Amino acid sequence: MIPGPVEFDNDVLSAVGKQTSSHVSQEFIDIFGESLEMMKKVWMCPDGQPFIMAGTGTLAMDMAGANLVEKNDRVLVISTGYFGERYADLFDRYGADYRILRAEPGRTVTPESIENELRTRKYKMLSFTHVDTSTAVKVEPQPIGELGRKYNVITILDGVCSVAGEEIRQQEWGIDVVITASQKAIGVPPGLALLVASERAMEKFRNRKSRVQNYYADWTNWLPIMQAYENRKPAYFGTPAVNLVAALNISLQQILKEGLGRRFERHKRTGMAFRSALKALGLKQVPADDCVANTLSAPYYPTGVQASEFLKEVNNAGVVLAGGLHPVFKDKYFRIGHMGKITVEDTINTVTSIETALKKCNYRFDDHAGITAAEEVLTTP
């Protein structure tokens, strides 16, 4: 129950374990092409350009930066935690003139503050993290997409901890680039960097004045490959992660079969169940009430409960949770990932393990308070 890698469906895992086919066989070309087409549906960006790359979510971040940033371009970074700061470091490597708007821990940067900055200084690009994996803070993407269109700024959404778990309507909301990684809500073992770019973003890329300063991530090399696969033709630049792409194909089919609306609602209910359970146990969370994520929770340890002891006892009870990540206060909180194929049983088992660990750590609360609160949310029509 960490925020990635998540638990994976057996059919997805079976695809990983099958004999590896040639990356230019017609069977694999069809699988790759279908996956690209399904990504457009999951991202809700029918006119977008999808990319499937062997790599991590950080590679997806790097692809957006490498292909869209040129030296001295003005870039605005909206930071709600560790991964906003990572994007600032990334843009700096490509020579961007960047500024950071930082939120207080557990808070978001308001659309008014973002607009004020866009109004006073012209920017080429803006990046923000939908759900920051370090804080469980969720930012609402739609207003930022609208600001991007209003001020002619390319918008990049880091959706590593949100795509296929939190609602994203990329094309409708005017988000230019949405990135993620396979091991989160997409539900595929680690190893794929996934990205969909809007027509506007691709036009900015085509009109670059300088060469992309990253060989592996350069869309000049990869765009013809993606277009060929989508047209069911063989192509080669670098060998794709064949088995992981086959697993992605299965997972995307499952996501679309479930239905995006039902999937978002399921994640929302799961998030509510965890929040209710934690509140009933007297545990406060890092994110404020108006910016909590549905894919991730970040509760503070209760007074007197030590991080190492608590996580050890949760593990002994059969569940793996993650410690804190934000460098300022990482020893004060822990993280529960609840995305992908998580079930009602998984949720209850996790809350039960948390209660067991808290008792072992001599923290007092009403017996079964968390379980009762979670069940009430999960069973309410």
In eight-state DSSP terms, residue 22 is P
Question: Is 253 within 8 Å of 42 (Cβ atoms)?
Answer: no
- Phi, psi of 293, rounded to the nearest 5 degrees: -90, 160
One domain for residues 229 and 269: no
2 belongs to a structural domain = no
Question: Is 78 within 8 Å of 84 (Cβ atoms)?
Answer: yes
Query: Residue 36 is part of which domain span?
Result: 10-258
In this prediction the pTM is 0.96
Strands 192-197 and 74-79: unpaired
Q: Quick one: average pLDDT of 38-62?
A: 98
One domain for residues 215 and 233: yes
The whole-angstrom separation of Cα 166 and Cα 374 is 20
Model confidence band, residue 272 (pLDDT cutoffs 50, 70, 90): very high
Domain count, the chain: 2
Is the pLDDT reported for residue 372 higher than 90? yes
Query: According to DSSP H, which parts of the chain are helical?
Result: 10-17, 26-42, 57-68, 82-93, 111-120, 141-150, 170-173, 199-206, 219-230, 242-258, 260-280, 307-316, 344-360, 369-379
Q: What percent of the chain has pLDDT over 70?
A: 100
Crossing angle, helix 219-230 and helix 26-42, to 10 degrees?
A: 100
Give the tens place of pLDDT for each residue, 51-62. Answer: 999 999 999 999
3 belongs to a structural domain = no
Q: What percent of the chain has pLDDT over 90?
A: 99
The whole-angstrom separation of Cα 63 and Cα 218 is 7
Is the pLDDT reported for residue 44 higher than 90? yes
Cα dihedral 312, 317, 320, 321, rounded to 10, equals -70
Exposed (0-12), middle (13-18) or buried (19+): which is 351, by Cβ within 10 Å? buried
Diameter over CA atoms, the chain: 65
Model confidence band, residue 381 (pLDDT cutoffs 50, 70, 90): confident
One domain for residues 48 and 117: yes
The whole-angstrom separation of Cα 53 and Cα 114 is 31
Give the tens place of pLDDT for each residue, 181-239. Answer: 999 999 999 999 999 999 999 999 999 999 999 999 999 999 999 999 999 999 999 99
Q: Quick one: average pLDDT of 254-264?
A: 98
Q: Which two tokens stand for residue 124?
A: 């080429």
One domain for residues 197 and 265: no
Q: Across all residues in the chain, what is the average pLDDT?
A: 97
4 belongs to a structural domain = no
Q: Please indicate whether residue 327 or residue 34 has the higher confidence score (pLDDT).
A: 34
Q: Quick one: average pLDDT of 355-368?
A: 96
Exposed (0-12), middle (13-18) or buried (19+): which is 28, by Cβ within 10 Å? buried
One domain for residues 148 and 292: no
One domain for residues 24 and 127: yes
250 belongs to a structural domain = yes
Give the tens place of pLDDT for each residue, 75-118. Answer: 999 999 999 999 999 999 999 999 999 999 999 999 999 999 99
Comparing CA positions, the residue from 128, 144, 135, 147 lying closest to residue 87 is 128
Model confidence band, residue 126 (pLDDT cutoffs 50, 70, 90): very high
In eight-state DSSP terms, residue 180 is E
